[in-house]
């Protein structure tokens, strides 16, 4: 194993944080609070430094990092927080750099008292948040085909609101991948770190040998034995007494020799090695989505071109309900099979703020129902925070429920409460179904309400880049636009699940994403959308 395996944790003078409730990286709102929090942390640390400035020179350097970051973030905070590179940097400050500060001064009682006070007053981030933000950046890297250099320089939108990452920070993005046996991203970021450490000259932010150590092992795990040998030789050149590097070199050379023997023909002649360990390869890890992942990511980028041409797409004003007579709703049919509608300007700025304000204190890591056990649990494929609101909490919520009823002509008697979700760094919800399938536990939804017949989705914010709602089976894509709402039926008129409605929330590359959805159930819709023997009959018949 590697010499420099370090388990980073936020254990400041012996206290631990409840990370399940924290999970700051999953929510933009939590990140906004964290940016405010770090200003106060900076001030408190700086006050302490002034008492013993000479002895605390190294600690002063740490605080300077806090201060400079704080000043930059105040210039345009909304855009600053929207850049995931900045979110990574502030978590690094709050997890790694503050731990370094404590390590420098861990014999001072006053510091223990000050940190304890900070712990009591603020929900400081921990190791899971630090790892989470890095995994989120890896998702962005994959989904939007970004090079490590794009992320390192903060080139994620038309605006550059981030400083460039140094060699150590690039190394960290690779180390977390390595710790999770994700050698694909480990190689990409160790290579970027190696490039940067050479540019840093006589005062590098990390030892070159440490980078090479992780890089050599990762590249060997991806089958690049020849490259691993070259990297290991560089380690020995820099540190001739590096025992593990010497042992690894012997192991790699033997592995390459054994591989060559396997490639010998029956007559003992070597076969062509051009496509073997001498050609560098770095395949992405296997993914549970399989071939669907390529379509999903292509749709998120806006690259995917469906093979079937859409028909009869149209826009119209609808006013068939008394609630809509004075203010007709703008309806756009954005996909025909299955039908997906987009309603424009159907929620006001004031109503959006009410939803956010009421939901923010309730935000928790979003959970999903396991298709195997039927129990609710967190999942890597859904990264966001969500909270639930009832119509009783504010008149605006009750009005919005009536609006959904007026537009869809469906009863809300068996509909679920409003779910509000906030997506943080790399936040996403991979392809999934809203309805319960026959293979899932029978108690997924009670007979009193039935299956989820339809989904209504308000967009409460417009992300600058990313965050689209996509439907991989049919190649459909809905761009999130503030004050609009998407609507689709999850079930055929026969009551069978419509597998074409498998959909996903793409990762937010830049900015923030807030949504609010209401799931509408079958029971009570018998006279509005009657069951039918024919699966494909248009639900428009019942509007």
Q: Give me the pLDDT at residue 528, please.
A: 87
Q: In the structure, what pLDDT confidence band is assigned to residue 268 with cuts at 50, 70 and 90?
A: very low
List, for residues 20-33, the tens digit of each pLDDT value: 345 666 677 777 77
CA 535 from centre of chain: 36
List, for residues 220-263, the tens digit of each pLDDT value: 999 899 999 999 999 999 999 999 999 999 999 998 888 776 65
Cβ atoms of 261 and 270 closer than 8 Å? no
Q: Is the pLDDT of residue 2 over 50?
A: no
Q: Cα–Cα distance between 289 and 143 in angstroms, integer?
A: 13
To the nearest whole percent, how much of the chain has pLDDT over 70? 81
- Least confident window among 279-283, 294-298, 397-401: 279-283
Q: Cα–Cα distance between 25 and 29 in angstroms, integer?
A: 10
Cβ partners under 8 Å of residue 185, min gap 6: 138, 141, 173, 174, 177
The DSSP letter of residue 97 is I
More confident residue, 484 or 277: 484
The model's pTM: 0.80
List, for residues 449-507, the tens digit of each pLDDT value: 999 999 999 999 999 999 999 999 999 999 999 999 999 999 999 899 999 999 999 99
Q: In the structure, what pLDDT confidence band is assigned to residue 366 with cuts at 50, 70 and 90?
A: low
Q: Cα–Cα distance between 309 and 250 in angstroms, integer?
A: 59
Closest CA relative to residue 220, chosen from 251, 179, 185, 177: 251
Neighbouring CB atoms inside 10 A of 33's CB total 15
pLDDT, the chain, mean: 83
What is the number of alpha carbons within 13 Å of residue 452 lying toward its C-beta? 20
Q: Is the pLDDT of residue 416 over 70?
A: yes
Domain boundaries, the chain: 311-542
Q: Cα–Cα distance between 175 and 168 in angstroms, integer?
A: 10
CATH H-level, domain 311-542: superfamily: q2cbj1_9rhob like domain (2.60.120.620)
Q: In the structure, what pLDDT confidence band is assigned to residue 46 with cuts at 50, 70 and 90?
A: confident
Q: Is the pLDDT of residue 270 over 50?
A: no
Closest CA relative to residue 102, chosen from 91, 114, 90: 114
What is the token pair recorded at 195?
A: 């490039």
Cβ partners under 8 Å of residue 422, min gap 6: 27, 28, 29, 359, 363, 384, 385, 386, 512, 513, 514
Q: Cα–Cα distance between 194 and 173 in angstroms, integer?
A: 13
Q: Is the pLDDT of residue 54 over 60?
A: no
Q: Is the pLDDT of residue 357 over 60?
A: yes
**C-beta contacts of 443-450 below 8 A and 24+ residues apart:** 443/374, 444/369, 444/374, 445/521, 447/523, 448/414, 448/523, 449/414, 449/521, 449/522, 449/523, 450/414, 450/521, 450/522, 450/523
List the Cα angle 456/78/41 in 5-degree steps. 120
Q: Is the pLDDT of residue 448 over 50?
A: yes
Q: Tell me the DSSP string of 71-85.
A: HHHHHSHHHHHHSHH
Q: Is the pLDDT of residue 16 over 90?
A: no
> Tokens 């990297």 correspond to what residue?
231
Q: What is the mean pLDDT of residues 37-56?
A: 72
Residue 425: φ, ψ to 5°: -65, 115
List, for residues 61-119, the tens digit of each pLDDT value: 788 888 888 887 777 777 777 888 888 888 888 888 887 777 776 666 776 677 777 76
Q: Which residues pair with 478 in a beta bridge?
A: 469
Q: What is the mean pLDDT of residues 423-433?
A: 84
Cβ partners under 8 Å of residue 465, min gap 6: 144, 156, 157, 508, 509, 510, 511
> If DSSP codes are grouped into helix, strand and coil, which group holds residue 312?
coil
């Amino acid at each position: 194993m590697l010499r420099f395996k370090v388990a980073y944790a936020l254990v400041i003078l012996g206290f631990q944080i409840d990370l399940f409730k924290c999970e700051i990286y999953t929510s933009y709102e939590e990140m906004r609070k964290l940016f405010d929090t770090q200003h106060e942390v900076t001030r408190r640390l700086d006050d302490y430094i002034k008492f013993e400035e000479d002895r605390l020179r190294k600690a002063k350097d740490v605080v300077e990092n806090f201060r400079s970051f704080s000043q930059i973030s105040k210039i345009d905070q909304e855009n600053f927080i929207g850049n995931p590179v900045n979110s990574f940097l502030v978590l690094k400050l709050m997890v790694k750099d503050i731990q370094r500060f404590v390590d420098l001064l861990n014999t001072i009682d006053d510091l223990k008292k000050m940190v304890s006070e900070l712990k009591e007053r603020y929900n400081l981030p921990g190791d899971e948040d630090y790892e989470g933000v890095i995994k989120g950046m890896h998702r962005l890297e994959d989904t939007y085909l970004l090079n490590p250099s794009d992320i390192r320089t903060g080139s994620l939108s038309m605006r550059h609101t981030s400083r460039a990452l140094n060699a150590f920070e690039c190394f960290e993005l690779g180390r977390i991948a390595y710790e999770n046996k994700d050698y694909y991203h480990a190689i990409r970021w160790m290579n970027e770190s190696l490039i940067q450490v050479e540019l840093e000259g006589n005062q590098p932010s990390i030892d070159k040998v440490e980078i090479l150590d992780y890089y050599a092992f990762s590249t060997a795990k991806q089958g690049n034995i020849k490259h691993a040998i070259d990297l290991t030789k560089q380690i020995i050149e820099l540190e001739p007494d590096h025992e593990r590097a010497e042992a690894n070199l012997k192991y790699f050379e033997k592995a390459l020799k054994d591989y060559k023997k396997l490639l010998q023909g029956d007559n003992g002649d070597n076969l062509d090695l051009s496509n073997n360990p001498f050609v560098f390869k770095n395949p992405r890890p296997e993914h549970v989505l399989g071939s669907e992942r390529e379509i999903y990511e292509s749709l998120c980028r806006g690259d995917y071109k469906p093979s079937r041409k859409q028909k009869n797409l149209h826009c119209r004003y609808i006013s068939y309900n008394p609630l809509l007579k004075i203010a007709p709703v703008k309806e756009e049919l954005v996909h025909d099979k299955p039908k997906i509608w987009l309603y424009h300007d159907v929620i006001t700025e004031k109503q959006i703020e009410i939803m956010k304000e009421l939901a923010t204190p309730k935000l928790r890591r979003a959970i999903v129902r396991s298709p195997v056990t039927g129990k609710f649990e967190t999942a890597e494929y859904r990264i966001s925070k969500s909270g639930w609101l009832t119509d009783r909490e504010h008149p605006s919520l009750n009005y919005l429920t009536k609006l959904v009823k007026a537009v869809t002509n469906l009863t809300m008697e068996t509909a679920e409460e409003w779910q509000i979700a906030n997506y943080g760094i790399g936040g996403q919800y991979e392809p999934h179904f809203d309805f319960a399938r026959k293979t899932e536990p029978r108690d997924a939804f009670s007979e009193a309400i039935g299956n989820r017949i339809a989904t209504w989705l308000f967009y409460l914010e417009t992300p600058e880049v990313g965050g689209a709602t996509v439907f991989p089976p049919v190649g459909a894509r809905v761009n999130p636009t503030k004050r609009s709402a998407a609507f689709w039926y999850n079930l055929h008129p026969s009551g069978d699940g419509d597998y074409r409605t498998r959909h996903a929330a793409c990762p937010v590359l830049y900015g923030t994403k807030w949504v609010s959805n209401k799931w509408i159930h079958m029971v009570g819709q018998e006279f509005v959308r009657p069951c039918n023997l024919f699966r494909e009959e248009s639900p428009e018949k019942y509007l």
